[in-house]
Amino acid sequence: MREKIRDRERLLHMIEAIDQIINAQQRYTAEQLTTDPILFYGIVKWVEIIGEAAYKLIEAIRSSNPQIPWPSIIGMRHVLVHGYYQIKPERLLSTIESDLQPLRTLLMQLPELNLE
């Protein structure tokens, strides 16, 4: 039987996904990211990973870190997975541009990462 992914690894997955999205944002224009379906759905997948990892964290981590908007993160994942046919590129880009770097900063400060 495979070992379950632990919460620290989930937090690292979230950070990795954010880094991948930021990297893509630096390499491509907003138009490229929204009009090229491979790029667009690649970004969608990374955002889904952020939400899925947040969703799978134990409740104690989420409740002890209310500075992180867990319900919004998880909710976006649900919309992207279940409402894939309704994804608005401009909304996704807005989230990427305004929310990901602050989220990364907050995640890096969590004691559960134990980065010292």
Q: Where are the domains of the chain?
A: 7-108
**What pTM was estimated for this model as a whole?**
0.92
The one-letter code for the residue type at 69 is: P
pLDDT band at 116 (very low <50, low <70, confident <90, very high): low
State the pLDDT at residue 48: 97
State the pLDDT at residue 1: 46
Alpha-carbon distance of 82 to 90, in angstroms, equals 18
Which tens digits make up the pLDDT trace of 12-71? 999 999 999 999 999 999 999 999 999 999 999 999 999 999 999 999 999 999 999 999
Answer left, alpha or beta for residue 114, where phi above 0 means left and psi between -120 and 50 means alpha: left
What average pLDDT score do residues 4-8 get?
A: 83
Alpha-carbon distance of 96 to 87, in angstroms, equals 14
